[in-house]
A and B are shown apart, each in its own frame.
Chain A
């Protein structure tokens, strides 16, 4: 019966289900990709770190650790890396890069991919360098040219195509340049106070149980502040990073699916309405309510299966585009394969959720009275407060909650996700109902027929107000929130380049170079906007307690990172523009050696550390322990272009400690900037120059890549929104057709019907998009306030743009849909459709 009943409606049934295709496709694509990525991470983890074990620190390993490593055996490679300027003599260009001075056969697993291929081994045997290929492109340099690093020139042996474990984004920030370690000293870049990262790559003897070994040596290594990476920890880190990303993308896909399901529910609602007469006839002939329900349930399951299947196939195809979309974030090569579990999961979720949503309108069928055959009435099928309905609603809520929980892994986050969705639904429903009530109550009886007809269509029987406002509104809310969030992130990092703010930072300046560099800056007529000495140190005690004592104290929740990080501290006796006293008094000076040292810390840092005025912090300054007292808290504007410091020391303490200096200046002209940078690199090879313009464009580039990924996923929701919109409008044709044809019969012209239709869809599109935008504004504000800790001032123009686009699309789809009817003679349509 289900088969026979569907004969005349299959195309329409498929239309219902089309709404879920994209949602399922997105889910299958993301899950398949995640599955393949996991497999590839397992397979390639060794080549990602290039060794079995990597140790790293900001100082060379001690003799005792050296002995420890000797006792382990295996092969070892050693790398020292730091940021520095390089200079291309041929073009006189300079750029901040990541110098990696390498000794040994790293990588032990995988390769440094170079061009020519032999370069990865050849550069190790002479005064040669491997240079990142985008850097070479940028400065129009080639293998065979030379590059100056510090005091030494290197022959460019080849271009680096891919490094083990490095993704595109990392290379954008600081492009890598490899040189042999034995030439590092001659470059003159390794000086006291230089910020060098020391890495030791170890290939363990075969049959070594890595994890067991690491467990044994970890306490020794940790006591010296040495970081440890193993293949297993890399797998976990990579897996975690991509789990977070794919969970987010999965939620976006799920929202697309939910949106599709709203479409399914609305379509089935209309379908059921039209089928009530058929059901009544069947009921007259003795069909039971449950049997009638089964007829339509089977139709929906079959169509849901077809829709989900098409979605799964599309998802598997879309998956092949994801490596392209995510290529800048991937540290490994992805081998794409069909992921059957993801396909089955996608199809299962697709069928289940479309069935759940279809059940709400389908349950009406249970209640159809055979009396309907004799007399149609409005109230005959009303089933308000029906318990089964509530069960279905609860099932839907439970399913959404469970799915969100599985993606987010937190009951609370899942609850917020569901609450957000629920509130949006309620708000949209509320707006729809309010509009219907207001239009009916204050109906403008004196307006022209077309206006009244268009307005009245909002509340008359068979109106689409509720369903279109929910589907279009939710789609708009989602798209707009994504847009606002993206801008929030962009605004947060777009450091102001206006006014007299610095746009060039020079760092790693030795104390004895400071005066000469200041002089050089003055020669170029550039202002010195800020200069600061920087001393690096580590925190050892908080209120007399060491890290290990705090870790054992369950009541003390000072975060561990406070001890693990390196502090770059400055000293002065005044506050700068970007700082404001939040609490306490800034003393600024220590008069005599041995006097108490009163320091100032960032207010936010103090809150996270759970310390305040009067607490003591002990720092290890290159071996010397300094006890300090917090006497002052500062509020710092972190997004200003300044060198800002969590910890500020008074004068009279750190002057003799190993230190380097930072100088900030500003230059308007690019050519001055370039020639000044060249002069700095020529005269002070160890000094690094950061061109903030370059950094800003780099950040912009990264964010563009991130937002591309987000937009790519949001596209599924947007397209689903349009699918729902199109199918809602097409389905409504079956309702509106009779009205339009009758109007046509009694003399309405094409223009009048067009105007009525356009007006109705204009009102629906406007209401839906405005409500959606309001929801997006509220949720973006909440995100800005609670998640990004920033203020949110929306730009009016894009809002207007979104409104115009959504509304226009709604009108266009509505009108396109009616033109088919209008071009046919009324009699033909009357006989066929009515």
Chain B
């Protein structure tokens, strides 16, 4: 489902080149759950962004669902994201000017699909927010916002879900509810899950954990049997 090969990302900071990711390689099978862990500043989120086609690598390649992302321009990568990818962010990243329901509908609207209200509402109800459909993000609590973002992530029936510290901004109780929802929805939809976290308990719920530090992959542990392509 996802193949990362010799991925390196370097930023220029004044005259200095700062290597954030250094020669990272791994592969993930369809339907697997996968965690990237590491301390703050280790390059986790950058790696996730590159895998999801949100940025370009300095060198190396990313193949997502058999599509080589490196050669695509920004619009083509946007198309890939819209067709195959779902996102969950630590700070929810809902569009502040849209209501909860509208936020869920956006990925489908971008595809040009019609009659999507029912489906989106069902998803919103699935995450327990059917009655908050007309509320704007600012009118929702953190947990509620994350649940809306979860419904949005699954609305386009993605093949792969990228989650960046999905419980980072939530309390313990809410975190548990959100994590349960993520894994339940993931299982129901058969989606591949790639999650960045520094919460080892959460990482432990996945089948495989890779650990990075200073931009380098330092370990790759398979906790449970993974599927095969």
Question: What are the residues of chain B within 8 A of A834 when measuring CB–CB?
Answer: 91, 93
Q: Is A378 positioned at the interface, with any CB of B under 8 Å from its CB?
A: yes
Offer 15 A-B interface pairs, CB within 8 angstroms, sorted by A: A378-B136, A378-B138, A460-B97, A460-B98, A742-B94, A743-B106, A747-B111, A747-B156, A749-B78, A750-B75, A750-B78, A823-B74, A825-B74, A830-B54, A834-B91
Most buried by B among A449, A746, A749, A827: A746
- Docked complex Cα distance between A831 and B93 (Å): 11
Contact between chains at A752 and B110 (CB < 8 Å): yes
Point out residues on A near B: beta carbons under 8 Å.
375-378, 448-449, 453, 456-457, 460-463, 738-739, 742-752, 822-823, 825-828, 830-831, 834
Whether the pair A738, B75 counts as a contact (CB closer than 8 A) is no
Give A100 Cβ to nearest chain B Cβ, in Å: 74
Contacts of A461 in B (CB 8 A): 96-97, 136, 138
Pick out which of these stretches binds chain A: B80-88, B124-132, B173-181, B201-209: B80-88
Distance, CA A174 to CA B116, complexed state (A): 79
Smallest Cβ-Cβ distance to A378: which chain B residue: B138
Known: A376-B138, A739-B96. A746 touches B75 (CB 8 A): no
Please give, as numbers and ranges, the residues of chain B lying within 8 Å of A822 by CB-CB distance. Answer: 74
Q: Closest approach, in angstroms, between the C-beta of A681 and any C-beta of chain B? A: 78
Q: Which of A738, A746, A750 contacts B74 (CB 8 A)?
A: A750
Residue of A nearest to B138 (CB): A376
Q: Is the CB of A747 within 8 A of B139?
A: no
Contact of A747 among B49, B81, B136 (CB under 8 A): B81
Q: Which residues of chain B are within 8 angstroms of A831 by Cβ–Cβ distance? A: 45
The residues of B that contact A744 with a CB separation of less than 8 Å are 74, 78
Known A-B contacts A746-B110, A747-B107, A747-B110; A462 and B139 likewise in contact (beta carbons under 8 Å): no
Other 19 A-B pairs with CB < 8 A, given A375-B141, A750-B78: A456-B98, A457-B97, A460-B98, A461-B96, A461-B138, A738-B95, A739-B95, A742-B94, A743-B110, A745-B81, A745-B87, A746-B87, A746-B107, A747-B111, A750-B75, A822-B74, A826-B55, A830-B49, A830-B54
Q: CB distance A449 to B54 under 8 Å? A: no
Q: Is the CB of B109 closer than 8 A to any CB of chain A?
A: yes
Residue with the greatest number of chain A CB neighbours at <10 A, chosen from B91, B109, B111 = B109
With A449-B110, A825-B74, A827-B49 already in contact, the answer to whether A747 and B82 are too (CB < 8 A) is: yes
- Give Cα distance in the complex from A133 to B80, angstroms: 76
B100-140 interface code vs A (CB 8 A; 1 in, 0 out): 00000011011110000000000000000000000010110
The reply to whether B54 and A827 contact each other, CB–CB distance below 8 Å, is yes
In the complex, residue of chain B having the shortest beta-carbon distance to the beta carbon of A822: B74
- Which interface residue of A377, A461, A739 has the most chain B CB atoms within 10 A? A461
CB contacts (< 8 Å) of B54 on chain A: these are: 745, 825-827, 830
Q: CA A376 – CA B135 in complex, angstroms?
A: 13
Q: Is the CB of B112 within 8 A of A742?
A: no
B26 at the A/B interface (Cβ < 8 Å)? no
Residue of A nearest to B93 (CB): A742
Decide if A748 touches B110 in the complex (CB within 8 Å).
yes
Distance between A700 CB and nearest chain B CB, rounded to angstroms: 53
**A345 to B106, alpha carbons, bound, how many Å?**
54
In the assembled complex, the Cα of A463 lies from the Cα of B136 at a distance in Å of: 14
B44 interfacial by beta-carbon distance below 8 Å: no
- B56 interface hit (Cβ, 8 Å): yes
Could you tell me the distance between the alpha carbons of A447 and B141 in the complex, rounded to whole angstroms?
A: 31
In the complex, are the beta carbons of A825 and B96 less than 8 A apart? no
Q: How far is the CB of B85 from chain A (nearest CB, A)?
A: 8
Report which residue of A457, A822, A828 has the largest number of chain B beta carbons within 10 angstroms of its beta carbon: A828
Q: How far is the CA of A557 from the CA of B112 in the complex (A)?
A: 78
Query: B152 contacts the other chain (Cβ, under 8 Å)?
Result: yes
State A746–B95 Cα separation when bound (angstroms): 11
Identity of the chain B residue whose Cβ is nearest the Cβ of A445 in the assembled complex: B117
Interface pair B93/A745, CB less than 8 Å apart: yes
Q: Are B87 and A743 in contact (CB under 8 A)?
A: no
A747 pairs with B74, CB closer than 8 A: no
Contact partner, B112, options A377, A449, A457, A823, Cβ 8 Å: A449
Contact B97 A739 (CB under 8 A): yes
Task: Assess whether A827 is in contact with B78, with CB atoms less than 8 Å apart.
Answer: no
Check B138–A746 contact: CB distance below 8 A.
no
How close is A277's CB to chain B, nearest CB, in angstroms?
12
Q: Is B55 a contact of A449 with CB atoms below 8 Å?
A: no
A830 to B139, CA, bound (A): 22
In angstroms, Cα B73 to Cα A749, docked, is 11
Q: How far is the CA of A834 from the CA of B80 in the complex (A)?
A: 23
Q: Are A747 and B78 in contact (CB under 8 A)?
A: yes
Which of A378, A738, A752 is the one whose CB lies under 8 Å from B139? A378
C-alpha spacing A822/B54, complex, angstroms: 12
B150: min CB distance to chain A, Å: 13
Cα distance A680–B160 in the bound complex, in angstroms: 98
Residues of chain A lying within 8 A (CB to CB) of residue B138: 376-378, 461
CA distance A612 to B159 in the complex (A): 95
A825: nearest chain-B partner, CB-CB = B55
A-B pairs with the 7 shortest C-beta distances?
A747-B82, A449-B109, A827-B49, A827-B54, A827-B55, A460-B97, A825-B55
Query: Which residue on B lies nearest to A452, using beta carbons?
Result: B109
Chain A residues within an 8 Å CB radius of B83: 747
Name the one of B56, B79, B82, B95 contacting A825, with C-beta atoms under 8 angstroms.
B56
Find chain A residues with CB under 8 A from B45 CB.
831
Interchain CB contact under 8 A, A828 and B55:
yes
Q: Which residues of B contact A830 (CB under 8 A)?
A: 49, 54, 93
Find the B residue at minimum CB distance from A752: B110
CB proximity of A696 to chain B, nearest CB, Å:
58
CB distance from A829 to the nearest CB of B (A): 9
Within B44-59, which residues are at the interface with A (CB < 8 Å)? 45-46, 49-50, 54-56
Contacts A449-B112, A745-B54, A748-B110 given; does A738 touch B96 at CB 8 Å: yes
Collect the chain A residues with CB atoms within 8 Å of residue B81's CB.
745-747
How far is B154's CA from A674's CA once the two chains are assembled, in angstroms? 88
Chain B residues closer than 8 Å to A828, beta-carbon distance:
55
Query: Which residues of B are found within 8 Å of A449, using beta-carbon distances?
Result: 109-110, 112
Cβ contacts under 8 Å, B94 to chain A: 742
CA distance A742 to B81 in the complex (A): 12
